[in-house]
Structures are given as structure tokens and as C-alpha cells.
Structure 1
């Protein structure tokens, strides 16, 4: 199973999960996993979680129109829906929209942030080492093959994001609409053509879709738990201060994406497609090795809401975007993909990916679906919410055949068999006494079954 499959209609409710623990001694020793979250190392007892605990209501009309939970709860104005925390595997049409965005934001450019794939690695150079250049070996990936797309529908995370967006709008009301970016974002050029997969954005507030590359399991963990600013920017080196870094180009985001060598996700990389409220942007430029940590101070002073590091203008590479508050970000899509190089048949890989989507290691509706079951032990049981119980009851009821249905089924079966036997008897003009007795015995046998079904129904 693994995940819900969106087919353009309603998608069933999914369960939501919890925390991870690592196998080890009986003594609890906190440690940091690859996803950056501290987890205990011992499992002393099963943790029981009530999914109804802390639930709150959310205005339905505030949700994106294409979300499953928006469709399930209807379009009535002012209607509220209960808290939900759901991961939805999008349909092939949704994956195709993401593929178009990936292609539209791909740029064949290399920077020093793209790691050398060889051992020992080449020295870090401003324009990237020879191994990752387009004409190198293995070279720069020529395409990114989308293998699975998961949409994050989390009412609490969405509420925090919407509230922060409103706060920025109120704070900058006297300057609306805010000055935008020139040239236009790569993502904006593609998003506008796919309203079925991307919600309308507040362009006057510089609300945009941006990429964030990371370790594949970390991306799944962020989808569950939101960004953790304690670890944000650590992979990017913090050139513009301690914040959450984004790119308009999937090529740039891919520089920070890593797979799991030797593990289940070997060859599978992760990017997050996030909604980001940039607000008033502090634009700065810097040389490849030049840090501008003072950019964060410009935002902390209240003058700006975010930072744009413009290497495109002076170095013809990429622009980077940084926010310093996780509530300014909503990680809406997790994109799992593989890399295709010049030596690969990219078209064949894309076709195979569209026919056979990648399956996650753990079911997507588990709270621990980002964990590695080979090294991270978890034992959590859930008292599921009423919606889930209703779904399970519907499944059980639909699987149970009522006695009256059994009666109709056997009656139809007997009628068909008797008619066939009668037809055979007529065609063969069988007057043989033995055949007649055989036919009579079959008729009595099936009549007995009918009477038995009647008795069951009456009881």
C-alpha cells in the first residue's frame, strides 16, 4: 500500500503518526538522526497516542481548492473542519505537473556547492569540479526523473503559515504591493499554467513557490514536523545567516539533495516544493566564498522579511532565497526523484517512472514514515480519530455479505444451472432414465441449498 493514490476524486482519510527511537542499550541516550531530530535509543514500552487530542477547527474556505480535505468537507462558506494531518500521494496528472515544473526550472549550471561524486573528491572550486560539469564524468544531471510526489495537508502547519502571512501583510500594508523580483522567478512562469496543482499566490506580498533540496529522509521528516531552524542552513553553509534556504531552480536545490547509499533510498533524492512568503526582500550579492551573515540582521531589525542572495546578476549562476522564520514556509510537496545523466536514456527512465511510481519504505500514513526501520526503532499505537473509525466501519460493512444477498446469489446460481441442464437434456433428447435421475438429484440438491438460505435469512 504505502500511500493514498489521488485519482482526481475523493481520497480516503489517512492516519497520522509519531516519533522514532533507536535500537541500543536499555539506557536512554539522545542522539541526532539524519533528519536532525533528537530521538531516544531505547524502547521501554509502547507509546499510545490519541489522535483526537489537541484537535482544532479550520475554516474550509482557507484551504487550497485542490486539497483532499477541502473537497471532502465541501465548499460551504464559513464551514469549519476538524484538524487533519495527512500525506497524499498525488495522481499521475499531479506528478506530470511537477515534472513540468522540474523541467521548467532546470538550468545546466554548476557551482561549488555541487559535491564531487568521486573518491577521493576533487578540491572545491568556485565553478564546480570537472567531474560535475556538463562535459565531465559523470557530469551534471541532464534530467531529474520524478518518482513519487507527496502532498502535505496539515491543518496546524497551514494555520501557522496563513497567520504569519497575514501578519506580514498587515505590517507592510502601507507599501503594498511590495516590490517584486526582476527577472520573474523560474517557478512563477510554470506555476501559473497549472492551477489544478498549485494554489493562487499573493503576488503583492511576494508569496512564491521555491525548491529546497535535502537528504531524502530529512525531506520526509520536514513534511511531518515542519522545518527545524536549529539545523536550517547547515547544509548550505549559512552564507546569508542561519535561515531556511531555497532556490528557484531545481538544479540549484539538487546540489544539496542527497540519497541513502546502501539503503532503501539509494539513488533516490528529495526536494521540497514550498510556499514561501518572502514579503519585503533584502537583496544582496556576494562572491562565491563571501559570507553575508549581516543579512539576517536586516530582517531581525524589522526592515525586511527575507533575503535574496543574487549570484545570477554578477556571476550568472543562481539566486538563493532565505527566510529566518519557519512559519513563513509551508512545505507543500515532497518530490522524490532520481538523476539521469548524459549516458542514460532519460526518456525511457521517465516513461518507466510514470508507469511504476516509486514506493516508500514505510506506509505514508505512518507518523514515522521517514524513519529507517533498520536502525530506528519505534513502537507507537494510536487511538484513531472518529473519521478513521467511520472509514474502517464502512470498509468492514462493505466486506460483509448480508444473508439476503447470499440467498439471491444462490438462487441465481441454481436457476442458471437448472436451465443449462434442461437445455442439455432437450438438445440431446436424452430419454435415458439414468440421465433423468441425475438431473433430478441435482435439482433436489440445489433446492436444498435454497431452503437452507431461506432458513438463515429468517433466523
Structure 2
């Protein structure tokens, strides 16, 4: 077959092969092979090489993605109903490369130890039952389908101020001993499954709240049920763990405290408001005549 216009062809798959002779076995693909397929397929910059061409852009998401983030908010908020007012996707090559490097390091450590995966959080404590939710996100190509189960890569919320959200999207998270928040379980990046818990970290003032929907590589997890355990991070690090999972009194809400900023990628800046109450006042029925 011969085509005469390049627009007629789309190179969808890259196939590597090698001819084998006399019972030879296929060589293992080297992990340092320069493939650049780790950028999410739905990113606007998916065709760029993040290691060679730096970019830092924010994109307003399509309405369908906003609907999916709303679905995630509905399923994970334990308090009052919340409404997603707007969302922007953060596409930052520098932050992404740091995140991918950390994830690859955890994968490599697993391989060298002979383990198949890190201990999943549901084996440590009861988790939110959002199987159908993740299936919906997967089907619509929100980033859930790209999460690595082996290293406990999760989607988690982080509540903050608008100014801090913008700063984190530009420079990443900063972990400080002097932080006014994040001292209950030691220094780290505090994330939650429960959106209402993350909202509690937002400034207490009228108007919209701002949260980050983050990818997080939780890796090997240190688990605590104490209400206050400010040495948890140090104990986790000594035990070669990557994060703390805090479940106060086995009652929750659970929090994940990531020990390194490179473990977290702030992918969406989400503006949240209180859900408006539906108007249930009876209205007069209007009848319209349709004239053909």
C-alpha cells in the first residue's frame, strides 16, 4: 500500500525486535534506554522531551475532566458537599523529572530486593472503597490509569491557600522544620484521601478554597494510629520507609505524610466552593405551543 499524504498516517506504536537464532534468549531491555514515554498521554506537551526542552505551563482542563474531579470530590469528601469551580493542570518538566526519578528509584530498589510491590495501604488500615470511581477515572483517561500499584502511587489531596498553591505549582513542595502546619507527625508533605480533611488546612475565610490534586509515590509505608506522633517521620526514615500513614485511633481521617518533596507531583490546582443547595420551591408549569 502506498499513501501520498503524511496526514494519512499516524505512528501509534514503537516496536523493538531482534532476530534470535539457535535458541537464543531475548536480552533484557536496559532500564536506561532513552524512552520518553513517561509523560502522560493527555498532556499538551506529550510530544516534547522534558530532559532536553524545559516547559512550565498551566492548562485549563476540559469540562469532562472537571466532571471527573467533581466525582472524585463527591466520593472522598466526608463533610459538607463541595463543588469544583475550576481546575488547571500543571505541566512542569522540572518537577515531573524529579518525580519520575524518585519513582524509578523505588522501582529499582524493589527489583534488587526481589519484592514484587510495596505493602499496600489497605493491608495496613481500612481504605476508602472507590473501586468504581477509579474505574471511571481510568476509562476517561484521568491520570488514575497511569498510577504504579507496585510503589503505592496514589491520587491525594493537599489543602492550602491560593498563593501557596500557585507557589507549589511553580517550585514544588518545600519541607521545613518551621512549618506552621505539618508538625503532628513530623516534617513532610501532608496529603489526604478525604477532601474534607484537606479543606481543613485551607485558610479560614470566606470565598473559594484551593486544593492540589497530587500524584504521590508512597512507597514503603510506616503506619501509626497515634493521635500525635511527631517522631513518626524520623522512625519511618530509620526503617527505610518512604512515608507515614497516620490513622488516629483507627478512626481517621487518614493522612499520608511524604518525607521528600520529590515524591509528590502537584498535577491539578482545583478551586472548591460549597455546593449550592437545589431550589425546591414549586414553580408554575409553563406550556408552550410548538408551531411547525
**Same-fold status (TM-score > 0.5):** yes
Residue from 222, 227, 244 that aligns with 1:282: 222
TM-score normalised by the chain length of structure 2? 0.75
1:219 counterpart = 2:165 = yes
4+ runs of 1 displaced by more than 4 Å? 78-81, 185-189
Matches within 5 A, 1:123-272: 142-173=80-111, 174=113, 175-182=115-122, 183-185=126-128, 190-195=133-138, 196-199=141-144, 200-230=146-176, 234-236=180-182, 238-258=183-203, 261=205, 266-272=206-212
Asked whether the 8 Å contact 1:105–1:186 carries over to 2, the reply is: no
Select the structure of larger CA radius of gyration.
Answer: 1
Which aligned pairs between 1:282-431 and structure 2 lie closer than 5 A? Answer: 282-287=222-227, 291-311=228-248, 314-340=249-275, 344-345=276-277
Q: Does 1:69 align with 2:45?
A: yes
Please state how far the C-alpha of 1:258 moved relative to its aligned partner: 2.1
Residues 182-235 of structure 1 deviation map (CA, whole Å, 9 limit, x = unaligned): 234456652332132214111111111111111122112111111111278632
Distance of 2:278 and 2:152 partners within structure 1:
35
What secondary structure sits across from 1:308 in the alignment? Answer: strand
Are the structure 2 counterparts of residues 201 and 185 from structure 1 closer, same or farther at C-alpha, using a change threshold of 3 Å? farther
| 1:298 shift after superposition | 2.2
Q: Distance in 1 between matches of 2:65 and 2:85?
A: 12
Aligned partners of 1:185, 1:102: CA distance in 2, in Å? 13
Alpha-carbon distance in structure 1 between the residues aligned to 2:184 and 2:213: 21
Q: 1:85 to 1:93 in 2, by over 3 A?
A: same
What stretches of structure 2 of length at least 5 have no aligned partner?
1-33, 281-292
The CA distance in 2 between the partners of 1:329 and 1:201, in whole Å, is: 13
Change in Cα spacing, 1:233 to 1:154, as seen in structure 2 (3 Å) is same
1:192 match: secondary structure:
helix
Distance 1:147 1:216, change over 3 A: same
Using structure 1 for the length normalisation, give the TM-score.
0.48
RMSD: 2.5
Give the SS at the match of 1:153.
strand
Q: Give unpaired runs (5+ residues) of structure 1.
A: 1-57, 109-141, 349-459
Equivalent-residue separation in structure 2 for 1:336 and 1:284 (angstroms): 31
Structure-1 separation of matches of 2:179 and 2:130: 21
Q: Check conservation: 1:273, 1:331, Cα contact below 8 A.
A: yes
Aligned pair count reads: 239
Distance change in 2, residues 1:226/1:346 (3 Å)? farther
